[in-house]
């Protein structure tokens, strides 16, 4: 993990501390004026802690490891998976942002490809961290560059942020689109246009 991945201050191997998370949730409930010991809230700290462990699972697993298994398929054209559901957590408010991701890459001359499900797993693990949408998008693109050495990569994420819907500016339904392009997708306008057309036509 490095200084740009948003997890640097956590050290090399973050671990989930269930007891500490439970205590923090109990304290938060008390801080908002609730009674953490009342019947309906008794099991809530443990439940919330387990939920956070799941939502932040990408801190405890190295996301790029899902690309450990690759194979050669002598396919040098675009591979594009669209509409991968994304659920992530905005690191500013710890509220969800959710939507879809479209991930495409052009394998290198050796045709090194990965299983299609691995692209969705990659999105999933990088999303399961305190995130901002821009970083999620570029982390996925950079992981594909590192592991597949492809000729080009495009990642587009379209998401709605609940911190903009249920609080603050209160604009539910507004959607944010972020993209990250690498290699040929950045350098060749026609290659990028082809991928964007296919994303739009899905
Ligand atoms: N660029 C970017 N901004 C985000 C993302 N998620 C949330 N934000 C924004 O982060 C900003 C945090 O702004 P602050 O002024 O520090 O916090 P705030 O007072 O709660 O801001 P408001 O949401 O405007 O009420 C807000 O503008 C959010 O909309 C994201 O993924 N990317
Ligand atoms: Zn937010």
| Residue 112: φ, ψ to 5° | -75, 115
DSSP string over 1-23:
--TTTT-GGG-SS----HHHHHH
C-alpha 102/C-alpha 77 separation (Å) is 16
CATH numeric code, 8-55: 1.10.286.10
Residue whose CA lies nearest to ligand 1 atom number 9? 92
Residue whose CA lies nearest to ligand 1 atom number 13? 92
Q: Where are the domains of the chain?
A: 8-55, 70-201
User: Where would I find the H helices in 104-188?
Assistant: 116-127, 133-148, 162-165, 184-187
CATH numeric code, 70-201: 3.30.1130.10
In eight-state DSSP terms, residue 42 is T
Q: How far is CA 173 from CA 35, 91, 93, 162, 164, in A?
A: 34, 20, 18, 9, 9
Annotated binding site for Zn(2+): which residue ranges?
90, 93, 163
Query: Which ligand 1 atom is nearest residue 163's CA?
Result: 23
pLDDT for 169 equals 97
User: Where would I find the H helices in the chain?
Assistant: 18-31, 44-55, 116-127, 133-148, 162-165, 184-187, 189-201
Domains 8-55 and 70-201 equal at CATH topology level: no
Annotated binding site: which residue ranges?
90, 93, 163
Residues 176-197: tens digit of each pLDDT: 999 999 999 999 999 999 999 9
C-alpha 152/C-alpha 78 separation (Å) is 9
Quote the Cα angle for 87-92-98, to 5°.
15
C-alpha 102/C-alpha 137 separation (Å) is 10
pLDDT band at 1 (very low <50, low <70, confident <90, very high): very low
Residues 131-156: tens digit of each pLDDT: 999 999 999 999 999 999 999 999 99
């Amino acid at each position: 993990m490095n200084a740009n991945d948003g997890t640097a201050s956590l050290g090399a191997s973050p671990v989930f501390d269930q007891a500490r998370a439970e205590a923090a949730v109990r304290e938060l409930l008390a801080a908002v004026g609730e009674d953490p010991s009342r019947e309906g809230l008794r099991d809530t700290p443990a439940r919330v802690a387990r939920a956070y462990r799941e939502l932040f699972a990408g801190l405890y697993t190295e996301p790029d490891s899902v690309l450990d298994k690759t194979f050669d398929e002598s396919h040098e054209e675009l591979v594009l998976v669209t509409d991968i559901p994304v659920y992530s957590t905005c690191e500013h408010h710890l509220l969800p942002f959710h939507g879809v991701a479209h991930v495409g890459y052009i394998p290198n001359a050796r045709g090194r490809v990965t299983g299609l499900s691995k692209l969705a797993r990659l999105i999933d693990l990088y999303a399961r961290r305190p995130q901002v949408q821009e970083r999620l998008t570029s982390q996925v693109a950079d992981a594909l560059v590192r592991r597949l050495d492809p000729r080009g990569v495009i990642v587009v994420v379209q998401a709605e942020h609940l911190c903009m819907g249920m609080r603050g500016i209160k604009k539910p339904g507004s959607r944010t689109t972020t993209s990250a392009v690498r290699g040929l997708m950045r350098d060749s306008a026609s290659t990028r246009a082809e991928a964007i057309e296919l994303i739009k036509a899905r």
